Amino acid sequence: MMLRKPVPLLRGQRRPFHHPTFSYRTNFSQSCPFSWNAIHEPYDYTRARLMVNENHEMAIRRVKFNMSELGKRAAESVAFSHDQCVNVKGLPDGMFNKAFLFTMQDGTQVVGKVPNPNAGRPHYTTASEVATMDFVRNKLNTPVPKILAWSSNASENPVGAEYILMEKVGGIQLNKVWPRMNIKQRFELVKTIARYQKAWMSKSFIQYGSLYYSKDLQSNSGCILVNEDGSRFKDDRFAIGPSTGRGFLDDGRIDVDFDRGPWDKLYGYKLAIGFRELACVQEMPQLPRSILGLYGPGTYRRSRSKKIAAIRDYLRMVHFFLPTDDSISSACLWHPDLHVANIFVNPENLSEVVGIIDWQSTEVLPLFDHARQPYFLDYDGPPATGLDPPDFPRDFDQLNPDEKIKAERLYLNMSLATLYRKLTYGKNKRLFKAMEFQQTSSFDMMLFAQNLLIDGEALYRARAIELEEEWSCLPGVQASGNLPFPLQYTTGEVRSIHEDADKAIRSMELMRGVKESLGELWPEKGIVPLERYDEVRELLKHVKTDLINQLANSEEEKTGWDKAWPFDN
């Protein structure tokens, strides 16, 4: 199918103290103290626009609070009076929080963070983030901002919202320097991060969930920690409680009642994921839209019954997916989003990490769920799977200048990922074993089941049937005495499942065509920069019109494709 190609596109230092200016909605700055309550820019999500269900998405990113009181708390957190806070600046919006930089009369700076409604359940998300940062900073010797003040109860503090006040991290964000770092500098940084990952594994837990202070949970029983040598000790100050992970919150899951933990056993945790997806599919008034495929007339048709069937397949099989090596199932605390914007480095020594931020939604999970290369090593190309360095392109001399630049960049990225694997193999065998488990069918079947609410049920069921051929080789099956394959389907049911899978692939191919038509304007996760919104919206309209004209053979089919279009009109 040929879709219309996009039209070709043409291609400071903060002043510390100054009078009110609002030159850009997300870059406001204002002297303190004064009443912020009449100004509503700080409360709305202003960093980007959303192309899917925007009214709802904007609403769950809006939070109103008393900015004057937050500034006062910021000043008090560093032993200043409220009138000694002389400047406040809005930091770029995150998807789940508002952030602000407060500057005191002597130049001391404090970062304030206010969670949006979509950040997590009241109390739990903030309480867990604070306890996690404390534990990582003081128990796992990782450079994390010091918490100065916080509240997880919006109704009992004068700010009128949950908040966290913390030290401002020194150094410079890694994303500012990463592009100009050579491979030696990058690898030195990778080694630094690997040392912190090893520190995170130095203490594990005996439950899965998220970390809290004991006093912030109804059960004040403390937690059991396990050292690397297997010895155990009790810490009364911390406790494992309900998960604050994004998988238990996003796409409407935050409003559904299901088991959020904590869990004493790995099997109980993995079962809870299936029952979570089942509860959401059954109870949500409307299934969330997917932008992985275009599900219109003649393609795969999503339904609750098909999703439920896939989830039940998972629940029947999950026990056999679990690894038999307990060392890679240990409950570890891990940073959930280790990308270049969350790592701060010393500008004079780029391999020195001076701060790691954004510990919100951190979970204590089995090591094999955490064990992936840091996100800042991700790239668009073949994954690094071995320990040997990649081959340099043999036809490099025949490439044009632009192709050579891309080839060199890909080779650098592949080499760095391989170096990380080799370093992990040599210095952290347990983590490497966990990474290897991620290459198995067992892990894939657990991973893809985590988002069946949104998409993938057709391919999941087809893959589950194919799993019968390798069933006896799965570690969990061997440990259970080679029990028979648990899924039994008639010939007609198998044929129907494979037909659905073929139609789902067709649906994804159609969406892939839309994505290619938009090129760099594609709204990843439905998000587009403010300055590109009108352009993307107009282009999506043209692509939609072209697609309907090419695929619809009747007025009824035109209506069907119009309803199937996932983006806002």
Phi and psi torsions of 160, nearest 5°: 80, 15
Per the CB < 8 A criterion, the answer to whether 344 and 355 are in contact is yes
What is the model's pLDDT at position 1?
Answer: 38
- Are 552 and 405 contained in the same domain? no
What is the model's pLDDT at position 44?
Answer: 87
Tell me what the pLDDT averaged over the chain comes to: 89
- Are 514 and 382 contained in the same domain? yes
Residue 352 domain flag: yes
Q: How confident is the model at residue 378 (pLDDT cuts 50, 70, 90)?
A: confident
pLDDT at 406 over 90: no
Q: Is the dihedral of CA 154, 159, 163, 165 positive or negative?
A: negative
Q: Strands 109-115 and 97-104: what pairing?
A: antiparallel
Of the candidates 136, 135, 288, the one whose C-alpha atom is nearest the C-alpha of residue 214 is 135
Distance (Å) of CA 423 to CA 189, 245, 265, 373, 394: 12, 29, 31, 11, 27
What is the model's pLDDT at position 18?
Answer: 28
What is the model's pLDDT at position 41?
Answer: 61
Mention every residue, 6+ apart, whose C-beta is less than 8 A from residue 225.
Answer: 203, 204, 205, 232, 233, 234, 235
Beta strand residue intervals within 324-464, DSSP E:
331-333, 343-346, 349-356, 364-366
Prior bond to 262 cis, omega within 30? yes
Quick: pLDDT tens for 488-545: 999 999 999 999 999 999 999 999 999 999 999 999 989 999 999 999 999 999 999 9
Residues 207-236, mean pLDDT to the nearest whole number: 93
**Chosen domain end from 146, 168, 190:** 168
- Are 56 and 73 contained in the same domain? yes
Residue 416 domain flag: yes
Of the candidates 219, 108, 102, the one whose C-alpha atom is nearest the C-alpha of residue 163 is 102
Residue 208 domain flag: yes
pLDDT at 27 over 70: no
CATH of the domain at 138: 3.30.200.20
- Are 510 and 545 contained in the same domain? no
- Are 120 and 139 contained in the same domain? yes
- Are 162 and 182 contained in the same domain? no
Quick: pLDDT tens for 514-530: 999 999 999 998 999 99
pLDDT at 411 over 90: no
- Are 221 and 362 contained in the same domain? yes
Prior bond to 122 cis, omega within 30? no
Residue 139 domain flag: yes
Of the candidates 323, 344, 290, 269, the one whose C-alpha atom is nearest the C-alpha of residue 111 is 344
Residues 208-216, mean pLDDT to the nearest whole number: 97
**Chosen domain end from 149, 168, 187:** 168
**CA pair distance 157, 297, nearest whole angstrom:** 53
**Chosen domain end from 168, 203, 228:** 168
Residue 429 domain flag: yes
Of all residues in the chain, the percent with pLDDT exceeding 70 is 92
For residue 308, the enclosing domain spans 171-520
Beta strand residue intervals within 304-348, DSSP E:
331-333, 343-346
- How many residues make up the chain in this entry? 569
Helices (H) and strands (E) in the chain, counts: 16, 18
Q: Which range is least confidently modeled, 144-148, 239-243, 379-383?
A: 379-383
Q: Which range is least confidently modeled, 150-154, 193-197, 378-382?
A: 378-382
- Are 109 and 224 contained in the same domain? no
- Are 412 and 356 contained in the same domain? yes
- Are 349 and 311 contained in the same domain? yes
Higher-confidence position of 68 and 457: 457
Give the total number of structural domains in the chain: 3
What is the model's pLDDT at position 388?
Answer: 76
Residues 74-103, mean pLDDT to the nearest whole number: 91
- Are 148 and 186 contained in the same domain? no
Residue 3 domain flag: no
- Are 38 and 183 contained in the same domain? no
What is the model's pLDDT at position 15?
Answer: 28
Angle at 183 between CA 172 and CA 374, to 5 degrees: 65
Residue 338 domain flag: yes
pLDDT at 7 over 50: no
Residue 372 domain flag: yes
Per the CB < 8 A criterion, the answer to whether 458 and 300 are in contact is yes
